[in-house]
Amino acid sequence: AIYLEDLAKASGIESKRMKVLPGRQNLILRLKPSGKIKSRIMLTPHMDVVPAEPDAFNPKIKNGCLFGRGACDTKGSIASFFHAFLRLAKESARPRNTEIIFVGLVDEEYGQAGSRSLAQKGPQADLAIAGEPTNLKVVSAHKGNLWIRLSTKGRAAHGSTPQHGNNAINRMSPILVALTSDYPELLSKKIHPLLGSPTISIGTIRGGSQPNVVPDSCEIDIDRRTIPGETDASVKKEMKTLFDKLKIKSPDFSVTRSVPCPPLDTDPSLSIVQSFLKASNRRKTIGVPYFTDASPISMGGTPSLVYGPGNIAQAHAKNEWVCLKEVEQAESTIFRFLSNLN
């Protein structure tokens, strides 16, 4: 953030920080238009990365690719977006009536506190472009994310006399069967044109203390990916209805993700989206299954897209990399889009 801020100030670009978390701030850089502000575009890549071994923070270039933690997720997007942003300032190519705002976001990899603060405090814009590795494809929709914990209770007893207890794992067993057979079949009937069907994945299971004790508790953690039209409440109701239909005693429900993560569904027919598609030489937008900062920003009232160099398969990988040619292509697309706003 300091490095980007220094470069921006050297080009006469207005800079400020937005406090998000203790010791963590969003970086906001504003490029004013030559005339009166009538619209705004925000470039919103995130600056944080997932943890890695120290050596992963020593970048290396090999065969036209940059290797290192964050190269793909999302230093490549930062480089593309920021360089296009600076070119507008240096080449006097800034739009006549559109303010361009570069926002370096914090905390995308954990709770999206940076994008949530931006959505709450502003500014808003006519379009935000979240930087993520999309292979230079334009993303207008992605799935939401809901983490649910299901718990069953029983009664402990000695393993030699299980009839004196109530096995909580046994109580969970029909629930697991329902979630891995009946429920996926139900979800497959719901289809979004860009995202397909919702999904469910059982990520963890815990129960019991040792083999000779009848377990008095069992819990599973579920990752439920949602599509537009679904809410946390509707998912919970849907699962309870399924258990009732199958005559399964409903477990205790709790949502373990502390912030809402709804899906993104930006209208591809918006004129500003069509302008970006034209600049990127793409005919249509796509959908992706993973969650991004675009969702919280969109919740705040700014239509949002996701775009950037790199492949999501490389994100968080031990040997993370991004092709530098894609970084350059992304920069050209962003610059072309912004300069054409004139």
Residue 218 sits in the same domain as residue 101: no
**34 confidence band (pLDDT: 50, 70, 90):** confident
Question: Cα 258–320–55 angle (5° rounding)?
Answer: 95
- pTM given for the model: 0.93
Residue after which a domain boundary falls, among 220, 255, 290: 255
State whether residue 209 is helix, strand or coil.
Answer: coil
What is the bridge-based pairing of β-strands 127-131 and 199-207? unpaired
Q: Which CATH number is 243's domain given?
A: 3.30.70.360
Residue 249 sits in the same domain as residue 272: no
Given a cut of 80, whether residue 93 has pLDDT beyond it is no
Find, among 86, 84, 30, 135, the residue nearest to 334 by Cα. Answer: 84
Residue 131 sits in the same domain as residue 32: yes
C-alpha 265/C-alpha 298 separation (Å) is 9
pLDDT tens column, 202-246:
999 999 999 999 999 999 999 999 999 999 999 999 999 999 999
Any bridge partners for residue 49, and if so which?
none
Q: How many residues does the chain have?
A: 342
Neighbour order of strands in the sheet with 144-153: 199-207, 217-226, 144-153, 252-255
pLDDT tens column, 147-162:
999 999 999 999 999 9
pLDDT tens column, 256-284:
987 899 999 999 999 999 999 999 999 99
Find, among 121, 125, 45, the residue nearest to 341 by Cα. Answer: 125
C-alpha 312/C-alpha 52 separation (Å) is 17
Contact 308, 134 (CB under 8 A): yes
Q: Based on the structure, what is the number of domains in the chain? A: 2
C-alpha 56/C-alpha 50 separation (Å) is 11
Residue 137 sits in the same domain as residue 230: no
